[in-house]
Amino acid sequence: MTKTKVIIGLGSCGVAAGAGKVYKKISELKEAENLDFELGKTSCVGMCYREPLVEVIDENGSFLYGGIDEDKAVELINKHVNNNNPVRDYIVVTDLYDTPDRKYLEGQVKIALRNCGMIDPEIIAEYEERGGYGAVRKIVENKIPPENVIKEVMDSGLRGRGGGGFPTGLKWKFAHKNKSDNKYIICNADEGDPGAFMDRSLLEGDPHSVLEGMIIAGYAVGANEGVIYCRAEYPLALKRLAIAIEQAEDRGYLGSNILGKEGFDFRITVKEGAGAFVCGEETALIASIEGERGMPRKRPPFPAESGLWRKPSNINNVETFANIPWIIDKGGSAYAKYGTEKSKGTKVFALAGKINHGGLVEVPMGITIKDVIFKLGGGIPGGKKFKAVQLGGPSGGCIPEYLSSTVVDFDSVTATGAIMGSGGMVVMDETTCMVDVAKFFLDFTRKESCGKCTFCRVGTKRMLEILIRITEGEGETKDMEKLEELAYQIKDSSLCGLGQTAPNPVLTTLKYFRDEYEAHISQKKCPSLTCKKLLTYEVNEENCTGCTVCAKNCPVDAIEGARKEVHFIKQDICIRCGVCFNKCKFDAINLS
C-alpha cells in the first residue's frame, strides 16, 4: 500500500494566504495523534488564486485542494487521510475526474516551470529524481564540447526572456569567442515589474534549474564564476538559493573539476540588490554588483566584451537559465517545436489585475492574448467587459480588446507598441481609466529613473505633470501633442531601456484610447468614473430616504436636506471625496 502524502504549497503567495499556519496545524495534528502519513512542502504551482493549496496523494491518486484554512485542514486530515473520504467541495484538481480549474493547468506547456509545485525546492534529491543535473552529466559523460552546447541552444531558438529578446545562443557565442581567462555568468533576478513574481517563484520553487542553467552557460562560454543578482525583498528566494548552492557544492555540481571533469570549475555567489528597477538593465546591474550606484553605462562595449570588473560577461535572466537544462537534455529541436517561426518555445506570464485566475502560466509562443486571458485566466470578474491588457511591465504598452487576437511572440507584441518584457500581464476591465493607467505607470518609471539622462529624468516628470492636469480636469487639447512629442524625445535620447520604454503606456493609450483623453480634456469627464476630480455626485431622488447619513458624514457640509426628505448636493462646495457614495446604503448617490 502506498503511504499517503500531504504536501503544502509554501511559496510566497501561499505563505501570504496563510499556508504557513495550515502547515503548522497539520504538523501539530500529525504529531499529537501519531498519524501515519508523510508531510511535505513544495512551492507555487501557479494557481495563486486558489491559495493556500494542499495536495493529498494516496493509493487512489492525487487530490489538489484549494482555499484551505486551518479548520479545513483538520477536516481534510480527518476525512481524507484518516478515513479515505476526499472532500469534494475543496478539490481543485484531481486525477479521478474533470474540474473547472483543470483547464488552467492543461492549457499550459511547462518547461521553465516544470518542477515548480512538483518538488520540495529545499531537497536536491527531489530535483535529481526528476532529471535534475542530468544535462550537466550528459555534457560531462558524453564529452560534449562547448561549441556544440552553444549550437544546441542556438538551434532551440531560445531568446532572452528578460525583455529585449536577444537570441541566447548568439549571446553565448559572443562571450565564448572572447579568449579572456576570466569571464562571468550573471543571472538577472531583479526585474521590478509583475514579471518579477515569475522570477521569484522560479527561484523559490526550483532554484536548482537556474543553477544548472548557469553551470551549463559557464561551461559553454568558458566562465568559472557566476553571480545571481536578486533583490533583497525576496527573502524566501534568497533562502532557498543559499540552500541549493550549498547542496550543489556538496554533490559536486559546483566547485572544482565538476563531476570529475578536469578543468570544469564553476562557483556561484549571490548579490542582494536594493530593488531599483533600473538595475534590471544589464549595465546598471553590473555597476551595482561592483558596489557602485546602479546606473547604465554606454554601449559598446557590450558585456560580452567588457562586463563585470571589465571582464567578458554573459547575462541572462532567471527564466532563460531555467530553460537551458531542458534544452540540453531534450535537444534544441524539441524546444523549437513550440512557438512561432521567430519566437520559439514557451513564455511564462504573471496574470494580474481584473482577472479571475491570477497567477503564473506558461504557454507556447503563438497563443493569442485572448486565449491566455479567457481560457487560462478565466476571464473578467463580475461579468464585466475586457478592455485592455498591459503587457511588459511598467514600461510596457496597453493593448486594446480589439487586438486581443494578437499572438504572443516578440514581433507581434512589439508591433502593437507593447513589449514582451519579463512577462507581466495586467488585465483591465471597463471600469479602468486608461489615462489614469498611463499616469500610474509613468509615475513609477519616473521615480525609478536613475537620473543620468536629462530626457528621462526631466521628460518623464513633465509628462507626468501633464497627465495629472488632464485627470484633474485642467488639461488642454494641445497637451496630447506635447505628450507625444516628449515621449519620442525620451525614447530617442535615453541611454538605457528604462528611458527608451518608459513612454510606452502613454503612447499606446494615446493611440488606442484617444477618445478617453479627449473626454477628460474637452468634456471634463472620466468615462470610466475613476478620476475623482472629474466626477459629479448627485442624489437619486427615487432612492433617497432622507436618512441623513450622507449629510452627517460629508466633510464639507455640501449636502442639505431635512430628515425623511430628499437631500441635495451643492456642487459648488462638493470636493468629490466619495464619502457620500460609500456611506449610502440605498444606492441613492449617482456618479457621472
Instruction: Write the pLDDT tens digit of every residue in 316-350.
Output: 999 999 999 999 999 999 999 999 999 999 999 99
For 434-523, the fitting CATH number among 1.20.1090.10, 3.40.50.970, 1.20.1440.230, 1.10.10.10 is 1.20.1440.230
Binned at pLDDT 50, 70 and 90, residue 197 comes out as confident
Burial 157-196 (b: 16+ CB within 10 A, else e): bbbbbbbebebbbebbbbbbebeeeebbbbbbbbbbbbbb
Amino acid in the structure at residue 405: S
Give the pairing of strands 537-539 and 267-273. Answer: unpaired
Q: Cell numbers of 478, please?
A: 494641445
Domain 124-336 coded CATH 3.90.1310.10: no
Biggest distance spanned by C-alpha atoms of the chain: 91
Binned at pLDDT 50, 70 and 90, residue 365 comes out as very high
Q: Which of 65, 41, 70 is nearest to 51 (CA)?
A: 65
Q: Cα separations (Å) of 223 from 176, 228, 229, 241?
A: 9, 14, 17, 20
Asked, colleague to colleague, whether 5-106 and 535-591 share their fold, the answer is: no
User: May I ask the CATH architecture of the domain 346-429?
Assistant: Roll (3.10)
The span from the CA of 245 to the CA of 316, in Å, is 18
Binned at pLDDT 50, 70 and 90, residue 1 comes out as low
- State the pLDDT at residue 193: 52
Cis preceding linkage at 300, omega within 30: yes
Q: Which of 385, 307, 315, 376 is nearest to 346 (CA)?
A: 376
User: Hey, is 35 helix, strand or coil?
Assistant: coil
Burial class (CB in 10 A: 0-12, 13-18, 19+), 496: buried
Give the pairing of strands 359-364 and 346-353. Answer: antiparallel
Amino acid in the structure at residue 74: V
Q: Which of 32, 28, 33, 120 is nearest to 70 (CA)?
A: 28
581 within 8 A of 591, measured Cβ to Cβ: yes
Cis preceding linkage at 301, omega within 30: yes
Give me the mean pLDDT over the 231-250 stretch: 95
Amino acid in the structure at residue 208: H
Helices and strands in the chain, H and E counts: 26, 18
Which stretch, 147-156, 543-552, 553-562, has highest mean pLDDT? 147-156
Give me the mean pLDDT over the 440-462 stretch: 93
208 within 8 A of 114, measured Cβ to Cβ: no
The span from the CA of 425 to the CA of 436, in Å, is 17
- State the pLDDT at residue 196: 62
- State the pLDDT at residue 194: 47
Residue 425: phi, psi to the nearest 5? -135, 100
264 within 8 A of 225, measured Cβ to Cβ: no
Q: Which of 197, 211, 230, 206 is nearest to 51 (CA)?
A: 197
Q: Which of 348, 349, 326 is nearest to 337 (CA)?
A: 326
- State the pLDDT at residue 277: 85
User: How would DSSP label each residue in 421-468?
Assistant: TTSEEEEEETT--HHHHHHHHHHHHHHH--S-SHIIIIIHHHHHHHHH
- State the pLDDT at residue 565: 92
Give me the mean pLDDT over the 134-158 stretch: 97
Q: Which of 217, 167, 150, 166 is nearest to 187 (CA)?
A: 217
Q: Cell numbers of 447, please?
A: 521615480
Q: What are the extents of the domains in the chain?
A: 5-106, 124-336, 346-429, 434-523, 535-591
Residue 354 has pLDDT above 80, yes or no: yes
Amino acid in the structure at residue 531: C
For 535-591, the fitting CATH number among 3.30.70.20, 3.50.40.10, 3.40.1390.20, 3.40.640.10 is 3.30.70.20
User: Rounded to the nearest 10 degrees, what angle do helices 207-221 and 318-330 cross at?
Assistant: 70
The span from the CA of 493 to the CA of 423, in Å, is 26
User: Hey, is 167 helix, strand or coil?
Assistant: strand
- State the pLDDT at residue 275: 78
The span from the CA of 577 to the CA of 206, in Å, is 47
User: Hey, is 11 helix, strand or coil?
Assistant: coil
275 within 8 A of 281, measured Cβ to Cβ: no
- State the pLDDT at residue 191: 62
User: Hey, is 494 helix, strand or coil?
Assistant: coil
450 within 8 A of 296, measured Cβ to Cβ: yes
Q: How many residues appear in the chain?
A: 592
The span from the CA of 115 to the CA of 209, in Å, is 9
The span from the CA of 369 to the CA of 363, in Å, is 11
Residue 195 has pLDDT above 70, yes or no: no
Q: Cα separations (Å) of 386 from 380, 506, 563?
A: 6, 20, 42
For the stretch 475-508, pLDDT in tens is 999 999 999 999 999 999 999 888 999 999 999 9
What fold does the segment set 5-106 form as a domain? Glutaredoxin (3.40.30)
Model confidence, pTM: 0.93
* Average pLDDT along the chain: 94
Binned at pLDDT 50, 70 and 90, residue 231 comes out as confident
For the stretch 503-553, pLDDT in tens is 999 999 999 999 999 999 999 999 999 998 999 999 999 999 999 999 999
Cβ neighbours, 10 Å, residue 30: 17
- State the pLDDT at residue 40: 96
